[in-house]
Chains A and B, each alone.
Chain A
Amino acid sequence: MTLSEETLVELKEIAARYPEPRSGLLPMLHLVQSVEGRITPEGIEACAEILGITAADVSGVATFYTMYKRRPVGDYHVGVCTNTLCAVMGGDAIFERLQDHLGVGNDETTDDAPGLRSITLEHVECNAACDYAPVMMANWEFMDNMTPESAVQLVDDLRAGNEVRSTRGPRIVTWREAERVLAGFPDDLADDGPAAGPASLVGLGIARERGWTAPHPETDSGSGRTADTKQEAVEQADTARAETETKQEDSDA
């Protein structure tokens, strides 16, 4: 099945955002997923043609990034963080329970069942929400402080088509709709949900309680300059790597 004219126009629109069109490839592949439900050979061909590169180039990119799926994704993508901190805090137990409950393994999709939406289950790496561990992602929306029970409730609600809201965001849209936003075509949900979840505000709350603030701007203790030369800066910086590089660069010079 070839892509619609409308999709081709949008793919070109993405490429045109950048000084060099190929920069659009990642969002273009997100758009392919939103219309095709996965990365299809047709989608790869279309991107290649628009960008004037080979299908092999596009495939190389599509297979490198983990959000691109070669097999059809369900209506909802459900991720469970099993990187160390979340795993220890219960992510492993949650992932195990969901595999049992849904009858699927990692990166597998539930069978079509009458009246039920499908779910692709995957264990994911750290999603930058460790203060809300254990964390799950529903179509890449945060589901914070999960338990095996709340995880089962979440997937049951998603399957039944009940409205589910992110703990720090809007109602969960479908995976395809989410992919469209990632392609750079915003929906109208930016204003939904809070500015911050409770854990994000803990330090601020304590500071307010105790009257702690940053100093008043009048304070001036002179220069804060910590390094005057590149060499000095590199030696202070935390990367041994940068250090060797700079020394190398200097010796080349």
Chain B
Amino acid sequence: MPDTLTPVLTDNWGDDRAWTLAAYTERGGYGALDKAFAMDPAAVIETVKESGLRGRGGAGFPTGMKWGFIPQDNPRPKYLVVNADESEPGTCKDIPLMMASPHTLVEGVIISSYAIRANKAFIYIRGEVLHVVRRVQRAVQEAYLAGHLGKDIHGSGYDLDVVVHAGAGAYICGEETALLEGLEGRRGQPRLRPPFPAVAGLYASPTVINNVESIASVPSIVANGHGWFASMGTEKSKGFGIFSLSGHVRRPGQYEAPLGITLRTLIDLAGGMREGHELKFWTPGGSSTPLLTAEHLDIPLDFEGVGAAGSMLGTRALQIFDDTTCVVRATLRWTEFYKHESCGKCTPCREGTWWLVQVLSALEKGQGSESDLDLLLDQCDNILGRSFCALADGAVSPITSSIQYFRDEYVAHLTEGGCPFDPARSTAWAGQEVLA
């Protein structure tokens, strides 16, 4: 039974100048690279398959299997694209990873590219994180100078070039085919699949797109073996992951643990809820994953456990809200976000999210009637599953789940003619004036 917390990716974040090549090499960094080069690329894919690593960007698709889909008989160049567009509300793990230890990502990029036989890789970082872009640019530059990138890496005969690409502000580009559009210099609008990117991705060539944390997990798997990785986690959700706690807990932050840890344990490690308040609702994996409540404190946070509770593990973005928070306000704000970020390609999403905001805004102000709740649910039903990508599916999640668990609170807005909550009580500084 592994320890409660298992720092692997976060293990060096506290090191002096952890982001530098010197610090990373000092603790054995780039050692997994030689181990990988001593293996056949297919054997590297097999190792990652055997480890059970599932995509850390939200969907949980087996990473090794995704790599295996790259048709090696296709004469076109193959590409690896790292999805570093971390934008899902609540998700804040890849950004600190790239800030503290960009070389973990770069080493992962080299091994993963070698495995799928790509000679060019792209790291697509959202543009709104300047210092992270700097750190990754510098890490790539250092890796070139040290001979970890470029021609004939470590004398292996393998060549790889890496381009760091900054996005320009679009949540939708976290969706892999929209990201490819952005990387091709177009509006970030998702593509219809099939064909899947593995067959026709970047420049219509075979392409693997993986989340930062997935790729960053690869060096440790190669270095320590698939059995080591699989000894952590649960039956079908192997390994470790970064759990990001935010909101009304005493010590929000990053907690790296085997998959399957519970929110009860995590909140306990975080020092509990704020003084004098109780957990009201939370997202297990970002705002696109249906809300859960205090009833769900003991479900295992793995793909199966959260799925069985009616939500999704997503990105392990645990946004914690206490009893001072109005769930209608929270839901309206997320809905406004989805409306703003809808790329406009599919009508149910473009028009639907706009209508959801109209109905929810009225409810939040205490206008309308209880039948509007059914109208909302009906709208959600007409939006879910009817667009190219999952953005609109995500948009309905907070609405349907909040009505499921907090219908009375919606009704209270109507009976009281407005929001019964005082937003000042939810703030980070609430109560501090009194204590001071």
Residues of A within 8 A of B (CB): 17-20, 22-27, 29-30, 51, 60-61, 64-68, 79, 82-85, 87-90, 92-93, 124-134, 137, 139-142, 145, 147, 166, 168-170, 178, 181-184, 186-187, 189-191, 193, 195-208, 210-215, 217, 219-227, 230, 233-234, 236-242, 244-245, 248-249, 252
CB–CB B164/A128 < 8 A: no
B233 and chain A: residue at smallest CB distance: A224
A84-B334, A212-B3, A234-B61 as given contacts; A129 in contact with B92, CB under 8 Å: yes
- B296 adjacent to chain A (CB < 8 Å): no
Interchain nearest-CB distance for A209 vs B (Å): 10
- From B60, B69, B193, B252, A238 is in contact (CB under 8 Å) with B60
- B116 adjacent to chain A (CB < 8 Å): no
CB–CB A199/B253 < 8 A: yes
In the assembled complex, which residues on chain A have CB atoms less than 8 Å from the CB atom of B14? 195-196, 201, 204-205, 208
Among the 9-residue stretches B325-333, B362-370, B407-415, the one with 4 or more Cβ atoms under 8 Å from chain A is B325-333
**Bound-complex Cα distance A237 to B341 (A):** 24
In the assembled complex, which residues on chain B have CB atoms less than 8 Å from the CB atom of A198? 253
Among the 9-residue stretches B50-58, B348-356, B372-380, the one with 4 or more Cβ atoms under 8 Å from chain A is B50-58
**Residue among A191, A226, A245, A252 with most chain B CB within 10 A:** A226
CB–CB A222/B230 < 8 A: yes
- From B11, B51, B169, B247, A88 is in contact (CB under 8 Å) with B247
In the assembled complex, which residues on chain A have CB atoms less than 8 Å from the CB atom of B264? none
Interchain nearest-CB distance for A212 vs B (Å): 4
**Bound-complex Cα distance A124 to B228 (A):** 41
CB–CB A238/B5 < 8 A: no
Interchain nearest-CB distance for A241 vs B (Å): 5
In the assembled complex, which residues on chain B have CB atoms less than 8 Å from the CB atom of A61? 185-187
In the assembled complex, which residues on chain A have CB atoms less than 8 Å from the CB atom of B59? 237-239, 242
In the assembled complex, which residues on chain B have CB atoms less than 8 Å from the CB atom of A244? 385
- Chain B residues numbered 84-100 whose CB sits less than 8 Å from any CB in chain A: 86-92, 94-96, 99-100
**Bound-complex Cα distance A85 to B331 (A):** 11
B137 and chain A: residue at smallest CB distance: A186
CB–CB B168/A30 < 8 A: yes
Interchain nearest-CB distance for A22 vs B (Å): 4
In the assembled complex, which residues on chain B have CB atoms less than 8 Å from the CB atom of A210? 3-5
A170 and chain B: residue at smallest CB distance: B131
Residues of B within 8 A of A (CB): 2-8, 10-11, 13-20, 49-55, 58-62, 65, 69, 77, 86-92, 94-96, 99-101, 120, 126-131, 133-135, 137-138, 141, 163-171, 182-188, 193-194, 196, 203, 223-233, 235-240, 243-247, 251-257, 269-270, 287, 303-304, 307, 312-314, 317, 319, 321, 325, 329-330, 333-334, 337, 340-341, 343, 385, 389-390, 393, 423-424, 426-429
**Bound-complex Cα distance A23 to B269 (A):** 45
* 22 sample A-B contacts, Cβ–Cβ < 8 Å, listed by A number: A26-B168, A60-B187, A84-B89, A93-B424, A126-B337, A127-B129, A128-B126, A129-B92, A137-B128, A190-B131, A196-B18, A199-B252, A204-B10, A207-B7, A213-B6, A214-B11, A214-B228, A217-B228, A226-B52, A227-B236, A237-B54, A239-B390
**Bound-complex Cα distance A238 to B165 (A):** 28
A26-B168, A125-B337, A133-B428 as given contacts; A200 in contact with B254, CB under 8 Å: yes
A65-B168, A128-B94 as given contacts; A203 in contact with B5, CB under 8 Å: yes
B304 and chain A: residue at smallest CB distance: A236
**Bound-complex Cα distance A252 to B196 (A):** 13
**Bound-complex Cα distance A14 to B254 (A):** 36
CB–CB B131/A212 < 8 A: no
CB–CB A214/B2 < 8 A: yes
A-B contact count (CB 8 A): 380
A131-B254, A200-B13 as given contacts; A213 in contact with B3, CB under 8 Å: yes
**Bound-complex Cα distance A200 to B10 (A):** 9
A88-B247, A214-B6 as given contacts; A245 in contact with B194, CB under 8 Å: yes
CB–CB B92/A84 < 8 A: no
CB–CB B337/A202 < 8 A: no
Interchain nearest-CB distance for B57 vs A (Å): 10
A245 and chain B: residue at smallest CB distance: B193
A182-B133, A213-B6, A224-B230 as given contacts; A195 in contact with B101, CB under 8 Å: yes
A26-B168, A68-B168 as given contacts; A215 in contact with B228, CB under 8 Å: yes
**Bound-complex Cα distance A187 to B270 (A):** 37
CB–CB B92/A130 < 8 A: yes
In the assembled complex, which residues on chain A have CB atoms less than 8 Å from the CB atom of B182? 26, 65
Query: Which 7 A-B residue pairs are closest in the complex by CB-CB distance?
Result: A224-B230, A224-B52, A202-B253, A25-B185, A220-B227, A203-B255, A130-B246
A26-B165, A225-B49 as given contacts; A196 in contact with B314, CB under 8 Å: no
A181-B133, A203-B255, A214-B7 as given contacts; A65 in contact with B427, CB under 8 Å: no
A147 and chain B: residue at smallest CB distance: B429
Q: 9 extra interchain contacts, Cβ-Cβ under 8 A, other than A84-B89, A195-B18?
A: A24-B185, A61-B187, A79-B128, A88-B330, A92-B423, A130-B91, A134-B427, A178-B130, A215-B228
CB–CB A224/B226 < 8 A: yes
Interchain nearest-CB distance for B362 vs A (Å): 19
**Bound-complex Cα distance A205 to B134 (A):** 26
**Bound-complex Cα distance A207 to B4 (A):** 8
CB–CB B96/A67 < 8 A: no
B335 and chain A: residue at smallest CB distance: A84
Interchain nearest-CB distance for B178 vs A (Å): 10
Interchain nearest-CB distance for B285 vs A (Å): 8
**Residue among A137, A202, A249 with most chain B CB within 10 A:** A202
CB–CB B246/A131 < 8 A: yes
**Bound-complex Cα distance A227 to B134 (A):** 38
In the assembled complex, which residues on chain A have CB atoms less than 8 Å from the CB atom of B255? 202-203, 206
CB–CB A85/B319 < 8 A: yes
CB–CB B252/A131 < 8 A: yes
CB–CB A83/B185 < 8 A: no
